[in-house]
Chain A
Amino acid sequence: MLKFLVRRLLTFVPTFLGVTAISFFFIRLIPGDPILLLAGERGVSPERYAELQTQYGFDKPLWGQYLDYIWGVFQGDLGTSFVTKKPVLDEFLTLFPATLELSLCAILLAIAIGIPAGVVAAVNRGKFFDQTLMTTALVGYSMPIFWWALLLIIVFSSGLGWTPVSGRISLMYYFPNATGFMLIDSLMSGQKGAFASAVSHLILPTIVLATIPLAVIARQTRSAMLEVLGEDYVRTARAKGLTPARVNGVHALRNALIPVTTVIGLSVGTLLAGAILTETIFSWPGVGKWMVDSIFRRDYQAVQGGLMLIAVIVMIVNLIVDLLYGLINPKIRKG
């Protein structure tokens, strides 16, 4: 197991360097000179332009800028956003808990519904439930997120008034951000109704963000279960007289979970990488929206720092998934 872990950790190094190089050079490939964009219609004189180039360090050769950057990264300095003038790492850490909170809720919802639904569909293969479920999953997978989110807002927030339109908590609650996780902070604040308000604000964005992973997990679970249900050992288990619940729920599901875990791991990565649309629509102050804003402003430092941090997180999630495989399937651990 230890050898497995070390081997996996070693692959981190080249991946990490690759990500920094790509994020550094690609953002600079996007056409658009940040200084000209900043000046807009007003324009900027050649002298002033040269002055600003020096101030932002754009006058150095590109590889020199890259080496400066890498040197900073190894010292824990990801640079300073040239828009907000604050350290990129601070900005990221301020916003990341909001993204993490929403992503975790979404993935939990997707697992809680997706796996049982997939199992039931597989067991009732070809029957009405199976067909309805698979059609719904296909619809969920294909739906434009933007449209789906607005539809939910119009029906449940504006129409029925059951949920708030957007934000993380009702504006009348005001307390310091101790952890950045609104569910925890609202509980800690001790203010009546704050937790309920935080939960109510999470409902719609969680549903929207969970929609695609839910569909994927349900479909994946179903097909993995179908494969496993045809195996000899399942037939043996049935022949032994075990209850269908035990056969499906324990013997079959545990084996079917291996491919499902991969899918979940990949979804977590995607969700953390910025549920950009969901965050924008629900005014959710997370990293996805921040990254998009930074790209539009050609805020190089923020974009490359943000990309790198997200890449590291995705790599860690994948590592955890790999380790989980080992737990589920001893063959991988020992192989």
Chain B
Amino acid sequence: MTVKHGLLGLTLMASLAGSASYAGTLIYCSEGSPEGFDPALYTSGTTFDASSKNVYNRLVEFDRGTTNTVPGVAESWEVSEDGLEYTFHLRPGVKFQTTEYFTPTRDMNADDVVFSFMRQLDPENPYFTVSGGTWEYFNGMSMPDLIKSIEKVDDLTVKFTLNRPEAPMIANLAMDFASIMSKEYADALLAAGTPEMLNQEPVGSGPFQFVAYQKDAVIRYKGNADYWGGAPEIDTLIFAITPDASVRYQKLKAGECHVMPYPNPADLEAMRSDPAINLMSQEGLNVGYLAYNSKMPPFDNPKVRKALNMAMNKQAIIDVVFQGAGSVAKNPIPPTIWSYNDAVVDDPYDPEAAKKMLEEEGITDLSMKVWAMPVQRPYNPNARRMAEMIQEDFAKVGVKSEIVSYEWGEYLDRSKAEDRDGAVLMGWTGDNGDPDNFLATLLGCDAVGGANRAQWCYEPFNDLVQQAKVVSDVAERTKLYEQAQVVFKEQAPWATIAHSIVFEPISPKVENYKIDPLGGHIFNGVSVAD
């Protein structure tokens, strides 16, 4: 602690209010405690913010504020003609952080990259079982099936060989679980008999380096002066863990923090009119929808599904359920994802026409179930209320509906059944910003009986999506996905309901902060005015 800090401390104490703001320090009032600091062990955004987003790098990174991928510690890469081999060329001179607990003796090389993946892939790797590693995301993204081998070609070249072509691979490698760890540090910990410290005292190559964590209270980082991308403008980055949203707001107002995530919808109005707050907003990387069971009559008939979609007043749902923090969804992917097809026209809200369409299809006395999840999700803050509104809308076109719900674990499980009775409210938050992560994961034939809760296997759609998986050219993939969205709209396996709107109130002193469409909170490139 320097004299400067001490003096400032005194001045501030005169007012008793700890309005901590000294040059080069950014305080982020985070919403919860990280589970640990090894991103590959976890799936929560809170943990990623505290580890991968600011401390680590990946071969490929997401360009800040977009879902586009750009070079990370790999400065370039080639994909073989058959789409099975990915050769990455590492950036020379990338330094791991020198901390109080570790001093690296060499720059990052291919060994580090191989280690970072093999610890999740190879049961023989000494780190495979450390910290009860279940490698959720690595498994969730089907990496064990996908990766045939990872080899070091030379110190700065790594080759991934896949079992099948997979264009979203590049986006997968930009995900948090693919963060590059220092093998030298991991080996040193293993030799010292404390491998679990890899999850408690992180060493990365990213813009910020870990200093200390006081459980449930504060995480401290300092700017990494040796960062290959240039030292960050923020010298000290502090996460002040503040679980209550109203309290985060009060702290922002009192100058006790600069950036806060997840405000209360009820506070948004006051924030908008507060000159001391800059309220940023963007559509979230998610979609909330109602999935019909396309295997069960009469929902196997696209016209019936379409008619029900037209019976729903989506704008009213957004107004009531999201209280303004949402927008009507017309496509199964959110507008922040590349290849979003804005030319698609949504089904109009027209109960009269809907009723007529149903009659034409011979549906006069339909009663159905509408499933409502018991928990708040980013894509659906109040499923019960949403289901009630849908029930009223359906009643207006002569369709009776009953709302059912189960405990969340049960709900997820039972809604997968192919003979499920009823339409289910569901949603998805994207993992890697790739359209494949929505269109193939949620609507592909392979996912029937799993994440494809519409149980919808429609060849023309599936062909487009599968084709896009094996092409690595982004422009070509974009065309295929745009077409797929048109087919989706014609066939209407879901009623697409909403994308949430993410709000992030920040202090006007904060410059160059960008909302991350992937839901992270990234402080490289951000500065704080005095």
- The answer to whether B416 and A43 touch across the interface, beta carbons within 8 angstroms, is yes
In the complex with contacts A85-B131, A174-B212, A192-B244 CB distance below 8 A: no
- The answer to whether B220 and A174 touch across the interface, beta carbons within 8 angstroms, is yes
CA distance A197 to B200 in the complex (A): 28
A326 interface residue per 8 A CB criterion: no
In the complex with contacts A41-B429, A85-B131, A158-B254 CB distance below 8 A: yes
- The answer to whether B9 and A191 touch across the interface, beta carbons within 8 angstroms, is yes
CA distance A192 to B238 in the complex (A): 21
A48 interface residue per 8 A CB criterion: yes
- The answer to whether A280 and B17 touch across the interface, beta carbons within 8 angstroms, is no
1/0 contact string of A75-86 vs chain B (CB within 8 Å): 000001011111
Once A and B bind, how many residue pairs between them come within 8 Å at the CB atom?
171
CA distance A305 to B431 in the complex (A): 34
Q: How many residues of A contact B (CB 8 A)?
A: 62
Q: Which of B18, B139, B238, B240 contacts A283 (CB 8 A)?
A: B240
A94 interface residue per 8 A CB criterion: yes
CA distance A192 to B10 in the complex (A): 7
Nearest chain B CB to A150 CB, angstrom units: 6
- The answer to whether B35 and A283 touch across the interface, beta carbons within 8 angstroms, is no
Residue of A nearest to B10 (CB): A193
- The answer to whether B18 and A85 touch across the interface, beta carbons within 8 angstroms, is no
B194 interface residue per 8 A CB criterion: no
Interface window among B361-369, B405-413, B469-477, B516-524? B405-413
Residues of B within 8 A of A318 (CB): none
- The answer to whether B17 and A163 touch across the interface, beta carbons within 8 angstroms, is yes
1/0 contact string of B7-25 vs chain A (CB within 8 Å): 0111011011111101000
Residues of A within 8 A of B241 (CB): 283, 285
- The answer to whether B408 and A164 touch across the interface, beta carbons within 8 angstroms, is no
Q: Which of A52, A94, A169, A283 contacts B242 (CB 8 A)?
A: A283
- The answer to whether A82 and B132 touch across the interface, beta carbons within 8 angstroms, is yes
Q: Which A residues from 28 to 69 make CB contacts under 8 A with B? A: 31-33, 36-43, 48, 52, 55
Residues of A within 8 A of B1 (CB): 172-175, 191
Residues of A within 8 A of B18 (CB): 164, 167, 169-172, 197, 200-201
A255 interface residue per 8 A CB criterion: no
Nearest chain A CB to B45 CB, angstrom units: 12
- The answer to whether A172 and B22 touch across the interface, beta carbons within 8 angstroms, is yes
- The answer to whether A161 and B5 touch across the interface, beta carbons within 8 angstroms, is no
Q: Which of A43, A52, A91, A163 contacts B450 (CB 8 A)?
A: A43
1/0 contact string of B128-164 vs chain A (CB within 8 Å): 0001101010011000000000000000000000000
Interface residues on B, range: 35 or more
- The answer to whether A85 and B36 touch across the interface, beta carbons within 8 angstroms, is yes
A222 interface residue per 8 A CB criterion: no
A227 interface residue per 8 A CB criterion: no
Q: Which A residues from 149 to 186 make CB contacts under 8 A with B? A: 150, 153-154, 157-158, 161-175, 177
B105 interface residue per 8 A CB criterion: no
- The answer to whether A285 and B215 touch across the interface, beta carbons within 8 angstroms, is yes
Residue of B nearest to A154 (CB): B250
CA distance A162 to B17 in the complex (A): 6
- The answer to whether A36 and B216 touch across the interface, beta carbons within 8 angstroms, is no
1/0 contact string of B435-454 vs chain A (CB within 8 Å): 00000000000000011000
Residues of B within 8 A of A36 (CB): 408-410, 412-413
- The answer to whether B247 and A282 touch across the interface, beta carbons within 8 angstroms, is yes
Nearest chain B CB to A333 CB, angstrom units: 42
Residue of A nearest to B410 (CB): A31
Residue of A nearest to B242 (CB): A283
- The answer to whether A285 and B217 touch across the interface, beta carbons within 8 angstroms, is yes
Residues of B within 8 A of A39 (CB): 136, 140, 412
- The answer to whether A42 and B238 touch across the interface, beta carbons within 8 angstroms, is no
Residue of A nearest to B412 (CB): A36
Residues of A within 8 A of B136 (CB): 38-39
Q: Which B residues from 203 to 254 make CB contacts under 8 A with A? A: 212, 214-218, 220, 238, 240-244, 246-247, 250-251, 253-254
In the complex with contacts A85-B131, A161-B254, A283-B247, A197-B13 CB distance below 8 A: yes
B300 interface residue per 8 A CB criterion: no
A73 interface residue per 8 A CB criterion: no
CA distance A82 to B216 in the complex (A): 17
B359 interface residue per 8 A CB criterion: no
Residues of A within 8 A of B254 (CB): 157-158, 161, 164-165
- The answer to whether B17 and A157 touch across the interface, beta carbons within 8 angstroms, is yes
CA distance A290 to B241 in the complex (A): 13
Residues of A within 8 A of B10 (CB): 192-193
Nearest chain B CB to A195 CB, angstrom units: 10
A9 interface residue per 8 A CB criterion: no
Residues of A within 8 A of B196 (CB): 85
- The answer to whether B407 and A32 touch across the interface, beta carbons within 8 angstroms, is yes
B427 interface residue per 8 A CB criterion: yes
Nearest chain B CB to A42 CB, angstrom units: 5
- The answer to whether A289 and B216 touch across the interface, beta carbons within 8 angstroms, is yes
Residue of B nearest to A45 (CB): B450
1/0 contact string of B346-363 vs chain A (CB within 8 Å): 000000000000000000
Q: Which of B199, B217, B407, B427 contacts A168 (CB 8 A)?
A: B217
Residues of A within 8 A of B407 (CB): 31-32
A281 interface residue per 8 A CB criterion: yes
B282 interface residue per 8 A CB criterion: no
Nearest chain A CB to B236 CB, angstrom units: 9
Residue of A nearest to B246 (CB): A150
Q: Which B residues from 181 to 208 make CB contacts under 8 A with A? A: 196, 199-200
B426 interface residue per 8 A CB criterion: yes
A188 interface residue per 8 A CB criterion: no
CA distance A157 to B16 in the complex (A): 10
Q: Which A residues from 264 to 297 make CB contacts under 8 A with B? A: 280-283, 285-286, 289-290, 293
- The answer to whether B212 and A165 touch across the interface, beta carbons within 8 angstroms, is no
- The answer to whether A171 and B240 touch across the interface, beta carbons within 8 angstroms, is yes
A95 interface residue per 8 A CB criterion: yes
A196 interface residue per 8 A CB criterion: yes
CA distance A98 to B428 in the complex (A): 38
Residues of A within 8 A of B243 (CB): 280, 283, 289
Nearest chain B CB to A170 CB, angstrom units: 3
CA distance A184 to B6 in the complex (A): 19
- The answer to whether B408 and A37 touch across the interface, beta carbons within 8 angstroms, is yes
CA distance A281 to B243 in the complex (A): 7
- The answer to whether A167 and B131 touch across the interface, beta carbons within 8 angstroms, is no
Residue of B nearest to A168 (CB): B217
Nearest chain A CB to B425 CB, angstrom units: 12
Nearest chain A CB to B291 CB, angstrom units: 12
Residues of B within 8 A of A85 (CB): 36, 41, 131-132, 196, 199
CA distance A33 to B407 in the complex (A): 10
Which residues does B use to contact A, with CB under 8 Å? 1, 5-6, 8-10, 12-13, 15-20, 22, 27, 32-33, 35-36, 41, 43, 131-132, 134, 136, 139-140, 196, 199-200, 212, 214-218, 220, 238, 240-244, 246-247, 250-251, 253-254, 256, 407-410, 412-413, 416, 426-429, 450-451
14 residue pairs A–B, Cβ–Cβ below 8 Å? A32-B408, A36-B408, A36-B410, A41-B412, A41-B427, A85-B131, A163-B17, A172-B8, A172-B20, A173-B1, A174-B212, A196-B13, A283-B240, A285-B215
* Interface contacts beyond A32-B409, A43-B451: sample of 11 additional A-B pairs, CB < 8 Å, sorted by A: A39-B140, A82-B132, A86-B200, A153-B247, A162-B16, A162-B17, A164-B254, A172-B9, A193-B13, A283-B240, A283-B241
Closest 8 pairs between A and B when the two form their complex, measured CB to CB: A170-B18, A285-B216, A36-B409, A31-B407, A285-B217, A85-B131, A164-B18, A193-B13
